[in-house]
Amino acid sequence: MSFVIFDLDGVLVDSEQVWDESRKDVVAQHGGEWTDSATTDMLGMSSKEWPVYLIEKLGVPLSVEQINEAVVDAMLREYREHLPLLPGAREAVARMADAFTLGLASSSNRPIIDVVLQEMGVTERFKATVSSEEVARGKPAPDVYQEALRRIGADTATAIEDSDAGIRSAHAAGLYVIAIPNPHFPPSDEALALADVRLPDLDALTPDVIR
């Protein structure tokens, strides 16, 4: 049985804008100052890393725990009202789950992963899910993919990724990487060169591509 590990943000949910707005609100509410580079700087950062960025770079006078809680609460409210699924996300998970054992490796916080999969109705499709808050380093380090492999009981797998940091993370963990580039924040040419396959969208993701 082959193994497939999905990323979450930018692969299954069109979430970067929701993250952006939630973080901007927290920065504004607490007297910090948003910068032009903040959005791209935080792409792929783990939930241990981006709150530190808000404190050190954007001047938010809260603890890491307080920032995490405020942003995650805002994200969960938004997701429960409207989950911004990418076209074909549910169907792609179903197709892959019928053919392979699935895992998930995400930079999102654990509560967000759980709510997204629950709202999608696909929780049971995944053998294991990993948040980068559960490992030492976030993407582009390989830790979250290495832990996902361990939890699903695999030596290697195919990763479905959209971002610069995600592609680098999966490649560093020795996975076969399928890139579906995020149109809002496209990965660099250098990162794309590390991918084994590039697809235009989730509809193109079929078991045959992986086999």
Q: Which residues are catalytic?
A: 7, 9
- Could you tell me which of 50, 5, 1 has the C-alpha nearest to residue 147? 5
Backbone φ/ψ region at 59: left (φ over 0), alpha (ψ -120 to 50), beta:
left
The alpha helices in the chain, defined as continuous H runs, are 16-29, 38-41, 50-56, 64-81, 89-99, 110-120, 143-152, 164-172, 189-192, 207-210
Question: Do residues 208 and 189 touch, judged by C-beta distance below 8 A?
Answer: no
Question: Do residues 116 and 104 touch, judged by C-beta distance below 8 A?
Answer: no
Task: Name the token pair of 211.
Answer: 């086999």
Whole-number Cα distances in Å, 1 to 4, 34, 36, 105, 154: 10, 47, 45, 19, 10
